[in-house]
Amino acid sequence: MTTTATAAILREIGEPLTLEEVQVDAPGEGEVLVRMRGAGICHTDATGMDGTIPLPLPSVLGHEGSGVVEAIGEGVTDLAPGDHVVLSFGHCGDCTYCNKDRPAYCEMFAPLNYFGTRMDGTVTMHQGDEDIHGCFFSQSSFATYAISLATNTVKVAKDLPIELLGPLGCGLQTGAGTVLNVLRPETGESIAIFGMGGVGLSAVMAAKIAGCDPIIAVDINDERLALARSLGATHTFNAKETKDLVWEIMGVSAPGVHYALDAVGTNEVIRQALESTRTPAVVATVGFQGLEHDITIDQGHLLVGRTLTGVIEGDSNPQDFIPALVEHYANGEFPFDRLIKTFPFSQINEAFEAANSGAVVKPVLLFD
Ligand SMILES: [Zn+2]
Ligand SMILES: [Zn+2]
């Protein structure tokens, strides 16, 4: 039996999303039908809409969903109808890297997140005879109901505002996980974080949890820098107004910071992040500027013991890391709700506009 849902459909690259009625499959083996309560908008959704990442059309985006389990498919043992869940990125749960507790590097990451179909090529959403690609990040959560996999469906406590928790599944996990799972600073070590979007601001909160000092935040928007300061940044720099940014950062934590995190992805920022560190040091780049985007670095800056690494999804195992972030949130140490502005699902295109213009850090769509 199918479930009738309203989905925001991308029919043409560069066009607004249209709210249309679709039929969602009953959950198959290993699948979960979720009634969506909230869905965050992440930069990756925008790159799907503008064609930066190739997607099959028509497609339903959305990969920071949260809601309530409506039904479970065969073989799903850890979830039951009524459970509150946060949806994260798709991973198979049984490849070399999933078995090493590193599902962000799942060998099936591309098909499970970008192909828009199940592994057998079928789709989860239909409109009459038409296939609607509804497996974006194994969820397509810009819909009132969607199908996820048990592997990427994370149960959370019921005493929390479930409609706000979706961004923990991607953007917030990316920033916080890169600090807590990859860089792993010790108390009192220094960090510089470039780009104060949802990812960078989550990294600031995580750096504070880790006990970093100083925590240096860089952006070109003074409002974002003020927000960073209120979330734990000890020093902030407006990159547009700072004459020699690298020199200034090194001055705060001579002879350079222990760690740097780039949440922008441009050549200039990656170079600045690398050059701001002491030696040895680790620099993580998580910003995405599109496929075939070349960067250049001075090899001499690497030779001195610096590591430059890319990170996907904070190298997190969402089944462990999302509950950990929820606990930090409940303790008041990870107040990510301060990044959020909510919009009714019907205003999804306005919400994208607010994200793309920078007016809102993290729009979250609310479903009735
Ligand atoms: Zn896997
Ligand atoms: Zn994302």
Strand partners, 8: 19
Is cis: bond before 58, omega within 30 of 0? yes
Q: Assess whether pLDDT exceeds 90 at residue 289.
A: no
Structure pTM? 0.97
Q: How far is the CA of 94 from the centre of ligand 1 (A)?
A: 5
Query: Rounded distance, CA 184 to CA 263, Å?
Result: 17
Taken as a whole, the chain contains a residue count of 368
Q: What is the pLDDT of residues 21-31, one digit of tens each?
A: 999 999 999 99
Residue entry with tokens 């809601």: 67
Give me the CATH code for the 175-311 domain, please: 3.40.50.720
Q: What is the pLDDT of residues 209-224, one digit of tens each?
A: 999 999 999 999 999 9
Q: How far is the CA of 256 from the centre of ligand 2 (A)?
A: 30
- Tell me the CA distances in angstroms from 22 to 12, 63, 125, 128, 297, one per residue in order: 17, 18, 6, 8, 48
- Domain range list for the chain: 3-169+335-366, 175-311
Ligand nearest to the CA of 88: 2
Q: Assess whether pLDDT exceeds 90 at residue 12.
A: yes
- Residue % of the chain over a pLDDT of 90: 98
Confidence of residue 291 (pLDDT cuts 50, 70, 90): confident
Residue in 118, 115, 119, 63 with CA at minimum distance from that of residue 89: 63
Superfamily of domain 3-169+335-366: Medium-chain alcohol dehydrogenases, catalytic domain (3.90.180.10)
Q: How far is the CA of 147 from the centre of ligand 1 (A)?
A: 19
The reported pLDDT for the residue numbered 196 is 98
Q: How far is the CA of 53 from the centre of ligand 2 (A)?
A: 12
Q: How far is the CA of 46 from the centre of ligand 1 (A)?
A: 26
DSSP H stretches of helix in 138-221:
171-177, 198-210
**CB within 8 Å of 129: residues ≥ 6 apart:** none
Three-state secondary-structure class, residue 45: helix
Q: What is the pLDDT of residues 174-184, one digit of tens each?
A: 999 999 999 99
Q: Is 363 exposed, middle or buried (0-12, 13-18, 19+ CB in 10 A)?
A: buried
